[in-house]
Amino acid sequence: MQLTLEFGGGLELLCDSVKIHNVDVSPNNEVDKLTMKDLLVWVRANLIKERPEMFMKDDSVRPGVLVLVNDCDWELSGQLDTPLEEKDVVVFISTLHGG
Amino acid sequence: MENKMESKGGEAARILSEIETLKATRSDLDNRISALEAQLRHLNFEKNNVSCPSISTGFVHGLSPDMIYRYSRQLLLPSFGVQGQSNLLKSSILVVGAGGLGSPALLYLAACGVGQLGVVDHDVVELNNMHRQVIHTEAYIGQPKVKSAAAACRSINSTIQIVEHQEALRTSNALEILSQYDIIVDATDNAPSRYMISDCCVVLGKPLVSGAALGLEGQLTVYNHNRGPCYRCLFPTPPPTTACQRCADSGVLGVVPGIIGCLQALEAIKIASAVGEPLSERMLLFDALSARIRIVKIRGRSLQCEVCGENSAFTQQQFKDFDYEKFTQSPLSVAPLMLNLLPEDHRIHSRELKERIVKGEAHVLVDVRPAHQFKIVSLPNAMNIPLSSLESRLAEISSALKEEEKRKHSGFESSASLYVICRRGNDSQMAVQLLHKVGFTSARDIIGGLEAWARDVDPNIPTY
Ligand SMILES: [Zn+2]
């Protein structure tokens, strides 16, 4: 499944400072749909190059990270259970405090 | 040679102090001039009103002829008009922080005619603020930001009320200060302040225009407005302290907070004038490098939110007693972190090191700052091994030590010392901890880093 993943607010530093990743992620088997929970595991294994604790905590993202699926907060689509479709855009963004 | 340098140093100090004195005099004069100008405007204003009482009282909207002329370009906007301006003039807005975000926000809020404009800050103006904190001028370096910002606002618009709160916002004074305003603008630069201001806005029922900027990115949203979410609905748990970068460490391009600050002023104006759709339940994400702005939909008010949720009863007293520094594990004021990780004999003062170097002690100096900071300034003969790659580059240190021993004591049995420096003396301590663990038992960190070296040993070393 083709997905576009974007990292911002400093999270890109965990993946070689690359912000936009066009990736191909396959579901675990033919029947199951890919969910955000699966995608997080995939991202951690394939894109995060350092300090994984700055990206994840337990099986979700760490506090202070907003997850947006097609420009919409994942809280509104089922969080970890959000199903993903072909060509979806998933944004991971760390909240900023500077000013 | 030494004497000549000293006398040059003395002369430089004398010139610096004369500049300081002249600047103080100039800023004093500027203040007196702007106060007199305000007085004069006020007199003219009264005179006009006296001479034409029928006109000044003749309009139902309450705008004086001067106001109509000053704000005419806003009155001409069909979607803003007299009603929007009149609402704005009756409103009060508080900007917390007169820094990179607060500077443009305050300038536009003063210019557009907010009735009462407050500013809170406890900091003073510094030279390294000026690239982004555009409300301040060089004449105000060393003076309170609130004083400088208020003077700038008054010089743009002497007809509105500008209120100076020259103090740090704390749980002890926040309720009292925020309660005097209709709308709050969060232009602060740290996590505990953001939680504190949001909670205080919930307790008092005030809308909050929240902006943030770092590096080349910015974020903006409106909290606690029209039953929308609060900061805690979005971020119930504070992020780890290592995720909270500061402009003073990570850098920021001046115009980036400028853009977010302008957008904060815009959102505050929209709410105050009751015009348009405020950015509630939505968040604006700005990426300067790729020139992209994305507006995303965010969650609504959370029923489970500990502060604004259905069953929460977060009272004024609970707010006053809440420890925001403990909650976020970081200080409210942004004083740089000063770690103390090492026993005394693993550390050295810059002056003592200077003496040892002058005496010709065999040593290797490792600078553990990131390469781009090393390029700004470094000490002679320092080798740059950033902390992040230290563990994989230990061999370079070993061979540098061997080299130095050979060079200084051809044949003698003696070892070279190992010193570690960074910007302020925090990373260098972490590096020395690591070095001791892997067997470099002579490693010592330079207390206070390059900043201390510049202060105590060589004032010609630039700080940043
Ligand atoms: Zn809430």
B213, B234, B296: residue with CB nearest A98: B213
Output the pLDDT for position B42: 65
The first and second tokens of residue B335, run together, are 């004083």
Rounded distance from Cα B230 to ligand 1 centre (Å): 4
- Residue written as token pair 């003698």: B412
pLDDT in tens, A16-44: 999 999 999 987 766 678 999 999 999 99
- Do B99 and A19 count as a contact with CB atoms less than 8 A apart? no
Q: Does A8 touch chain B (CB under 8 A)?
A: yes
Partners of residue B94 on adjacent β-strands: B118, B184
Whether B334 has its CB under 8 Å from any CB of chain A: the answer is no
A69 touches chain B (CB under 8 A): no
What one-character DSSP code corresponds to residue A35?
A: B
Q: What pLDDT score does B336 carry?
A: 63
A68 contacts B243? CB cut-off 8 A: no
B5, B237, B323, B361 from B326: Cα distances, Å: 49, 12, 5, 45
H or E element in which residue A57 lies: strand A56-57
Give the number of C-alpha atoms closer than 13 A to the C-alpha of residue B33, restricted to the C-beta side: 8
The pLDDT, as a whole number, for residue B285 is: 98
Domains of chain A (ranges plus CATH)?
A: 2-94 (3.10.20.30)
Ranges A64-73, A89-98, B11-20: which has the least confidence: B11-20
Using an 8 Å CB-CB cutoff, list chain B residues near A76.
297, 299
Rounded Cα–Cα distance for residues B23 and B35 (Å): 18
Report whether pLDDT(B55) > 90.
no
| Beta-carbon contacts of residue B173 (< 8 Å; ≥ 6 apart) | B167
Q: What is the mean pLDDT of residues B276-301?
A: 97
Look up residue B368 and give its amino acid.
Answer: V
Q: What is the pLDDT of residue A44?
A: 96
Residue B330 has a pLDDT of: 86
Strands B183-186 and B92-96: parallel
Confidence bin at B412 (pLDDT 50/70/90):
low
Burial class (CB in 10 A: 0-12, 13-18, 19+), B188: buried
Does B1 have pLDDT greater than 70? no
- Phi, psi (deg, nearest 5) at residue B397: -70, -45
* pLDDT of B2 strictly over 90: no
Q: Is A27 on the interface with B (CB under 8 A)?
A: no
* Residue ranges with strand state E in B25-120: 92-96, 116-120
Select from B307, B267, B86 the least CA-distant residue to B185: B267
Give pTM, 2 decimals: 0.80
pLDDT at B245: 77
Per-residue pLDDT reduced to its tens digit, B350-368 = 999 999 999 999 999 999 9
The owner of tokens 């029928």 is B54
User: Which amino acid would we find at residue B349?
Assistant: H
Which among B236, B257, B285 has CB closest to A93?
B285
pLDDT at B6: 60
pLDDT in tens, B415-461: 899 999 999 999 999 999 999 999 999 999 999 999 999 999 999 99
